[in-house]
Amino acid sequence: MSLRPRDADSGRANLQQDEGQYFERKSLRYVTGLSADFPALAQDCVAFANGPGGHILVGIEDGQTEPPPDQRIDAGLLDRIRRRIGELTVNVQVLPEMRQHGNDGEYVDLLVSRSSGVASTSDGRYFLRVGDECRPIVGDDVLRLANERPAMPWETMTTLGVPRSSADTSKVARWMASIRASDRVKPSVKEKSTSEMLDHYGLARGDVLTNLGVLLLGTAADRAKLGTAPVVQAIKYDERGVKVSKHVWDDYTLSPLELIDAIWDEVPDFRESYELPDGMFRSKVPAFEEVVVRELVVNALVHRPYTQRGDIFLNLHPDRLEVVNPGRLPLGVTPRNILHASRRRNDGLARVFHDLKLMEREGSGFDLMYERLLASGRSAPVATEGVDSVHVVVSRRVIQPGVIRLIADADEKYQLTQRERIALAMLAQGEGLSAAELAAKLELDELSAVKDWTGRLLELGLVLATGRTRATRYFVPPRLLLAAGLDRHTTLTRVQPHRLEALILEDLERFPESSISDIHRRVGSEIPSRSVKRAIDRLVAEGRVNAVGERRWRRYRAVPSIDQGHKRGR
């Protein structure tokens, strides 16, 4: 798990953790020898400084979790790193310290503090840490970065000047009990007093509550004075789009921690279910998965910009649930990378939600929704970004009931990982996908990353593959589809190349002078267009098909075989 925001500013980094939002490893070659690359290190420092800060461990190679046992750090290297980063960056503060690992190897723990302004390289380039990547910021996004990160985060401000003693005592008592009961909180933290706990989680500073403290533990009157405390509306529509009913939470009596249970308990649609045939019996399937609804609400509450007004809408339609949240996605996160990218907008709030087990670890919320929706035979969640809002739509209806049985049987037998369940369910809902199509659905930047999702599925025989490179096509074996009741009408999606060529020749004998689009339409529109193009190119190269014209005017005609010529002569 990644470092939490507070850990990014103090203490030592955990060498065993994965690289992420607050943690990075770099080879010692970045700062020593002829191959030293201080500009690249400066970019990473800028990226961390434009977020909540973080640690860069210099002296640990990629893929390793400890330095070489015989590695020694020159004492003068620390001053050189501090000086060079200062020369190459603006608004970046770093603190390099030499550490010794348990294996006697030495490394540099480079602590990068959160910048009080917008950080950049000395040549005017801006970067941001998104997940485990350092991404450049260009164009209008530079202005967004400046607007989204004031010198002091909204959560830590004491705008209202509410005394600690004015906190809602019942909310404080429940919160303290929940923190002490959580297995995600260290024993040393559970031993703190109430006052110390408020300081530890950034809910109070000095004698007053911070904005975050008012939001979570303040009275309704003080929460209303914030001006941006969340208001939630759940609106139900019928088939014609006419409003049927409405539930509103707008009196500020509930904190974001309490809104989650209230929304789930008070909207009757969330507890509806319907029956699906299951052999001789019928099984009940919930209209909405509880974990999915709760995750949607948590995302809306935790990741919204609390410097901006706007209600959260839960629009309930007969076939879907649409959650509309004010504000855009955090800078660096888009609908195309939301499954993998992770960047917290409200670090303190996210930390409280995580420690209370109301949300999963950083970046895993959409993974969880993908898994639960696909494994229940529904389509994956669809996220879109408006001018000033984010929309997430999840399906209510089960498209492929057999997927539920397929995933349950495979998981019981092989204990699949979350990634494997997502990939298997995605492939089982259709006629298979090409490597490029699967990468697009999984929001992967590289085709090679598909192997990380399908590798063991292929070894276990749960998924088969044909073709090579981009033409590789993944699909669930027919025997498994048949056992799960997912056998559909046979299509030509996975037709073998020699059979496809025979179909094309038959089509051209009946319809000579045809374009490739006409051939594709008649032979089978479900066949990937690239497969049709490759088959025609092979036939042309072998002299079995003639081609005349260029580009969109190109037309094809079958070349008569010798046997056909003899028949016509007789």
- What is the per-residue pLDDT for 237? 95
Dig out the tokens for 541 from the structure.
């190269």
Beta strand 232-237 pairing with 312-317: parallel
Name the fold adopted by 5-149.
3.30.950
- What is the per-residue pLDDT for 176? 96
Distance of alpha carbon 21 from its chain centroid, rounded? Answer: 13
CATH of domain 405-475: 1.10.10.10
Q: CA–CA distance from 196 to each of 137, 155, 311, 423, 508 (Å)? A: 39, 18, 33, 45, 81
What is the CB-side half-sphere exposure of residue 549 using CA atoms within 13 A?
Answer: 11
Q: Of 431, 424, 402, 429, which Cα lies nearest the Cα of 489?
A: 431
CA pair distance 262, 266, nearest whole angstrom: 6
Domain boundaries defined on the chain: 5-149, 156-225, 233-395, 405-475, 497-569
Strands (E), 59-211: 89-90, 94-100, 106-112, 120-121, 126-130, 133-137, 204-205, 208-209
Distance of alpha carbon 481 from its chain centroid, rounded? Answer: 29
Fold agreement (233-395, 405-475): no
CATH architecture type of domain 233-395:
2-Layer Sandwich (3.30)
CA gyration radius, the chain = 29
- What is the per-residue pLDDT for 281? 59
Dig out the tokens for 293 from the structure.
């609804």
CA pair distance 408, 250, nearest whole angstrom: 41
Dig out the tokens for 324 from the structure.
């509309």
Whether 134 contacts 100, CB under 8 Å: no
Name the pTM for this structure: 0.72
Indicate the helix (H) or strand (E) that contains 336: none
Got the DSSP string for 364-419?
Answer: -HHHHHHHHHHHTTPPPPEEEE-SSEEEEEEE-S-S-THHHHHHHHHHHHH---HH
Class of domain 497-569: mainly alpha
pLDDT in tens, the chain (570 residues): 333 343 444 456 666 667 777 889 999 999 998 889 999 999 999 999 988 889 999 999 877 888 999 999 998 999 999 999 999 999 999 999 999 988 999 999 999 998 878 899 999 999 998 877 888 988 888 888 877 776 678 899 998 999 999 999 999 999 999 999 999 999 999 999 999 999 999 999 999 999 999 999 999 999 999 989 999 999 999 999 999 999 999 999 999 999 999 999 999 999 888 776 665 556 778 889 899 999 999 999 998 889 888 999 999 999 999 999 998 888 878 888 887 776 778 889 999 999 999 987 655 578 888 888 888 888 889 999 988 899 999 998 887 778 888 888 898 899 999 889 999 999 988 778 888 888 888 888 788 888 889 989 999 999 999 877 777 889 898 888 888 776 655 666 767 788 888 999 999 998 999 999 999 989 888 788 888 888 999 999 999 999 998 888 899 999 886 554 444 444
